[in-house]
Structure 1
Amino acid sequence: MLQSGFKPDGYGLTHLLRASTHLGLDSYCQQLHSYIIKSGFVSHKIYSLSDAHRLFVEIPQPSVVSWNSLISGYVQSGQYREALSLFLELDRDTEISANAYSFTAALAACGQLRLSLLGALIYSKIVKYGLENDVVLANCLIDMYGKCGSVEDAIRVFEEMIDRDIISWNSVIAACARNGNLEQAFGFFYRLPKPDTISYNELINGIAQFGDIEEAISILSSMPDPNSSSWNSILTGYVNINRIHDALDIFSKMQVKNIQMDDYTFSIVLSGIAGVSGLTWGMLIHCSIVKQGLDTSVVVVSALIDMYSKCGQVKNAESIFRLLPKKNLVTWNAMITGYAHNGDAAKVIQLFEQLKLLRDLRPDCVTFLNVLAACSHNDIPLHKANQYFESMIRDYGIEPTVEHCCSMVRLMGQRGEVVKAGRMIYELGFGSYGVVWRALLGACGACKDLKVAKFSAAKVIVLEGHNDYAYVMMSNIFACHGRWREVSRLRKFMQDRGLRKEAGCSWIEVENVSPYSSMVR
């Protein structure tokens, strides 16, 4: 066909790839892949792991390359449990053996899921295969232990290495710094003959998160080649401790110094602005995003949707959402959360139903948390909310979190089902969480159930100690029942212990702060 001057279209190339895969002709697959890239068809490829998995299953005798491609695909898409499941299936295969690449992907998945025990078991397989001296695998093991919080294990692997590269050093520095072991992180940093930018960045990131952020800035100013990640660590540190105007100052300096800003830079500063409802700053940064051509970035647009929603500008958020050509689950969740945050329960449910129809996206725990919240702000029957909750567990395999439990408790309390809500707390295994009993106590305040309220208040006090919330709520509930003697006794008890109702507070945008002219440059 090619010799005759004809060029295959995307449909024909798909069938050629399928045929080559069926026959196990890896070299033909690679040649076709090269042709696809050179011919510009790469932009038309549909990346679907479900399709890839179906093709993989159809291969009579898949090679280890085929296994690794699929495992790696699952890791890169964040589906770590699926990746590990596939790796364990490969490990059970008697006709083919895992290789170093298989192990690196599996260790990466263990790190993300914080499964240090499984990671250690995988390492025992590495030893069995005689790959324990592989530098890349050792680096992956250090990284895995670091992400699992097992700093001493990470250090042990590092110290036992025969050969080390710069990635080995940076991995152990990261393992220490990211877990707050700053003294050990500095120790490895000073032992490192030639620290690179990543070495400095890991140290800055750890200090900004666990130490004195001013010290992190001092290291930033003294490092040889700071990059956007170096500045982003400082930016993140300020946002995490709610020093938003300091974060904006850093953001402005990045622009003045022409530091390359990436998706993460804009997403983190927007998250800080969203937390204080700083609409003016948000709009200025939106202008910068458009000028830098990042207004089609899924990460940045998701942060924009979140910012506008939290600033009460739902229409702006909705317009941005609808204009984005490609959306991921984070984008959908940002818009669903935006509707929930602004009390538009009908839109939450409507968007959730649209999401369920999509082929390559599935609702996650965040999605369902917003759906349950929407049910409590709308005249949705309790049985319908229960259906959503049960579907989350049954159809999507999502384990309920304490937040889901609290949402259901509030929902049931609004409908007067506080006794059933109390039973559900134990059934879900959250009986030792004070926050769920707080939610039930609050629900009792709405439906005036004195008996369940007493029990819930007692649980809150046992689990959280004496605090104002339980006593204030009980005082209010006693007052609703005309039990003024109990009200007086509780108030005296609170005065004697120095307990008082917490004052409410809210964030407002400070309008008299001078905006940075560089923000819209």
Structure 2
Amino acid sequence: MQRTLFRALENHFQNYNLFLLSLSSTSKTPISFTRRNHTHDTGVEFSGVRETIRWETNPDGFTLVQMIRNCINHRYVSHGKQLHCYALQSGFASNVYVNTALVSFYAKVVSLDDAHKLFDEMSQPNVVSWNSIISGYVHSGNLYKALSLFLELNQSDLLPDAYSFTSALAACGQLSLLLLGMSIHSRIILYGLESSVVVANCLIDMYGKCSSDDGAIHVFNELKYKDVISWNTVIAACARNRRLELASDYFYQMPYPDTVTYNEMINGISQFGDIDEAIKILKSMPNPNSSSWNAIISGYVVKNRAWEALNFFTQMKARSVVMDEFTYSSILSGIACISALRWGTLLHCCVIKQGLVTSMMIGSALVDMYSKCGQVKDAEMLFQFMPRKNIVTWNALISGLANNGESHKVVQYFEELKDAKGLKPDDITFVNVLAACSQCQMPLERAYEYLISMNDDYGIKPKPNHLASIIRLMGHHGQLCKAESMIYELGFGSCPSVWRALLGACGACGDLDVAKVAAAKLRRLEDNEVGYVILSNINKDRGNWVDATAVWDLMRDEGVVKEAGFSRI
């Protein structure tokens, strides 16, 4: 296997022998390898870069590891692969330290698939080798795979170290897997690593992201030595879980708050508290940065105060605060909510002028903004010209097309997404696809295929909004009795929004029998008049005034009162 890999690498690099000559010299003195005006492998030219590496004629394993690390730090893809060739040719193929460095190189710079292949070929990987591949999957966002590998390590003859646990805890936090995180915590205590400040900080972060602020506080209080990261992490855990008073207490207890500390407080208060208080903290900061201002803008947008967000954005611009992709994506989200197209196009110009047009985050926000402003063609054109797209980008376009009635294009782009390398639809994608099926009244069989594929092919369990779209489509096809059965089969019998969707579908097709069942179910689940009012309106629309009156009599007998509406002339 190694010989095959060696041949593939050697064929790939025609200048391999020249590179080996640069590694060695006929003299026995050290030589230097200098790179000037190097063009980065990603195509970005770095003028004036000078990197000097020195080694002996026949570099040993330690020197080779250092050289590979240098390729990782500077993302020298081709040179890293050539060092792999040199390692294979020079007998370092069985050196666990060299192989571990190569696993790290491929994971961080080239491809996780290649890193995993190399890892699998190692006869006796050490714990550092395991850590390299696990952390690679964490950083790439493949969190379940990272946790699967961590569990394999846990079952091997090797003992996980602090770094192993920090990677696993990071994955648990991002996935909100509290029970698994607690299980890992028990292992940490078993191995006597709970006193490590690095591990403790990761535990605090994990508990905070899993909405267990009490767990985060407990770990923090038990920690004897607390560094700046410990304080910042517990403040963030309290703030993101709406315990603003406790976050404030820690903030004022902290010996030396830094910019991150202030930003965590501003972000928490902006999201869940009084934005004016957050602005006061911003003004009191010794060195506010872009993130400080971004938190305020994001807070305004979350609270549906987009015009105030724009006003704050103009203040940021007037003070020459550096604007990054987070600034623009946040303010564009606000603009999308109020359909302020002129502001959106103005900001698009600013993005181009600032050289951020290739940002995937900003591109996704622009696609969303143009879609919500009704400019679907502009959104589609922008999407087509984006060099890189993630699932957020695809969802922004698919959602925009669905909301603007372009149902057939929704299905078209969904089929393209299924073939996109490295991407797969998520639950938001399927919400829009199923909504499009309902809007254009597709055959039920097609919608069923999507619903089944969602679970079988992508592991996404149906949610109420998925089922609601299917129910509306079934209403168009007059299959509401079957829809009622499906609600129970999929376990949504106690979900009001699903019954509301069924009642609405009954109104569209005039099925009074199922409507009565849905209205009664809604009455029990929500304890308000909504179901009965809809049922009464269905009867009136069908000309059944006697039944409509009977519904109102039933409401009166049960003590249900419809809230009065108001109109103004």
Shorter-chain TM-score bucket reads 0.7 to 0.9
Secondary structure of the residue aligned to 1:269 is helix
User: Partners of 1:280 and 1:494 in 2: how far apart?
Assistant: 49
The correspondence of residues 42-441 of structure 1 with structure 2, limited to 5 A, is 46-47=110-111, 49-94=112-157, 96-441=158-503
Shift of 1:282: 0.6
8 Å contact kept, 1:147–1:175: yes
Stretch of structure 1 that moved more, 357-366 or 485-494: 485-494
Indicate how the Cα distance of structure 1 residues 32 and 102 shifts in structure 2: closer, same or farther if over 3 A, else same.
closer
Shift of 1:66: 2.9
8 Å contact kept, 2:363–2:393: yes
The answer for unaligned runs of 5 or more in structure 1 is 37-41, 505-521
Deviations 1:294-334 (A, max 9, x none): 11000000000000011111111111111111111211221
User: Partners of 1:502 and 1:82 in 2: how far apart?
Assistant: 54
User: Partners of 2:376 and 2:275 in 1: how far apart?
Assistant: 34
Shift of 1:358: 2.1
Indicate how the Cα distance of structure 1 residues 393 and 26 shifts in structure 2: closer, same or farther if over 3 A, else same.
same
Question: 1:472 corresponds to which residue?
Answer: 533
8 Å contact kept, 1:239–1:272: yes
The answer for unaligned runs of 5 or more in structure 2 is 1-16, 24-32, 34-40, 42-75
8 Å contact kept, 1:17–1:32: no
Indicate how the Cα distance of structure 1 residues 415 and 124 shifts in structure 2: closer, same or farther if over 3 A, else same.
same
Q: Structure 1 counterpart of 2:201, which letter?
A: N
Shift of 1:290: 0.8
Indicate how the Cα distance of structure 1 residues 59 and 467 shifts in structure 2: closer, same or farther if over 3 A, else same.
farther
Q: Structure 1 counterpart of 2:304, which letter?
A: N
8 Å contact kept, 1:142–1:154: yes
8 Å contact kept, 1:24–1:59: no
Shift of 1:173: 1.0
After TM superposition, the score normalised by the length of structure 2 is 0.81
**Greater relative contact order (Cα 8 A, min sep 6): structure 1 or 2?**
1
User: Partners of 2:377 and 2:276 in 1: how far apart?
Assistant: 39
Shift of 1:23: 3.6
Shift of 1:494: 7.0
8 Å contact kept, 2:523–2:532: no
Shift of 1:232: 1.1
Q: Structure 2 counterpart of 1:68, which letter?
A: N
Question: 2:525 corresponds to which residue?
Answer: 463
User: Partners of 2:139 and 2:182 in 1: how far apart?
Assistant: 22
Indicate how the Cα distance of structure 1 residues 80 and 29 shifts in structure 2: closer, same or farther if over 3 A, else same.
closer
Indicate how the Cα distance of structure 1 residues 25 and 86 shifts in structure 2: closer, same or farther if over 3 A, else same.
closer
Deviations 1:23-73 (A, max 9, x none): 455337748988x9xxxxx9xx654x4444344334333332332222222
Question: 2:84 corresponds to which residue?
Answer: 17
Select the structure of larger CA radius of gyration.
2
8 Å contact kept, 1:111–1:148: yes
8 Å contact kept, 1:24–1:61: no
Identical aligned residues as a percent: 53
Structure 1 position 486 matched with structure 2 position 557: no
8 Å contact kept, 1:204–1:234: yes
8 Å contact kept, 1:409–1:443: yes
Question: 1:508 corresponds to which residue?
Answer: none
Q: Structure 2 counterpart of 1:204, which letter?
A: I
Deviations 1:485-510 (A, max 9, x none): 22234457779955258799xxxxxx
* Aligned counterpart for 1:27 among listed residues 91, 95, 98: 98
Q: Structure 1 counterpart of 2:539, which letter?
A: F
8 Å contact kept, 1:22–1:58: no
User: Partners of 2:566 and 2:180 in 1: how far apart?
Assistant: 47
User: Partners of 2:124 and 2:103 in 1: how far apart?
Assistant: 20
After TM superposition, the score normalised by the length of structure 1 is 0.88
8 Å contact kept, 2:242–2:272: yes
User: Partners of 1:127 and 1:119 in 2: how far apart?
Assistant: 13
Shift of 1:79: 2.6
Indicate how the Cα distance of structure 1 residues 214 and 335 shifts in structure 2: closer, same or farther if over 3 A, else same.
same
Indicate how the Cα distance of structure 1 residues 317 and 427 shifts in structure 2: closer, same or farther if over 3 A, else same.
same
Q: Structure 2 counterpart of 1:235, which letter?
A: I
Shift of 1:414: 1.9
8 Å contact kept, 1:155–1:172: yes
Question: 2:54 corresponds to which residue?
Answer: none
User: Partners of 1:131 and 1:454 in 2: how far apart?
Assistant: 61
Number of paired residues?
Answer: 493
8 Å contact kept, 2:437–2:447: yes
Secondary structure of the residue aligned to 2:474 is helix
Stretch of structure 1 that moved more, 49-58 or 358-367: 49-58
Indicate how the Cα distance of structure 1 residues 101 and 451 shifts in structure 2: closer, same or farther if over 3 A, else same.
same
Deviations 1:57-109 (A, max 9, x none): 34333332332222222222333222212211111112x22111110111111
Stretch of structure 1 that moved more, 486-495 or 173-182: 486-495
8 Å contact kept, 2:100–2:129: no
8 Å contact kept, 2:104–2:115: no
Q: Structure 2 counterpart of 1:150, which letter?
A: S
Deviations 1:144-165 (A, max 9, x none): 1111221222111111111110
Secondary structure of the residue aligned to 1:60 is coil
User: Partners of 2:520 and 2:439 in 1: how far apart?
Assistant: 28
Indicate how the Cα distance of structure 1 residues 32 and 430 shifts in structure 2: closer, same or farther if over 3 A, else same.
closer
User: Partners of 2:551 and 2:93 in 1: how far apart?
Assistant: 76
8 Å contact kept, 1:207–1:213: yes
Indicate how the Cα distance of structure 1 residues 489 and 28 shifts in structure 2: closer, same or farther if over 3 A, else same.
closer
Indicate how the Cα distance of structure 1 residues 340 and 60 shifts in structure 2: closer, same or farther if over 3 A, else same.
farther
User: Partners of 1:356 and 1:22 in 2: how far apart?
Assistant: 39
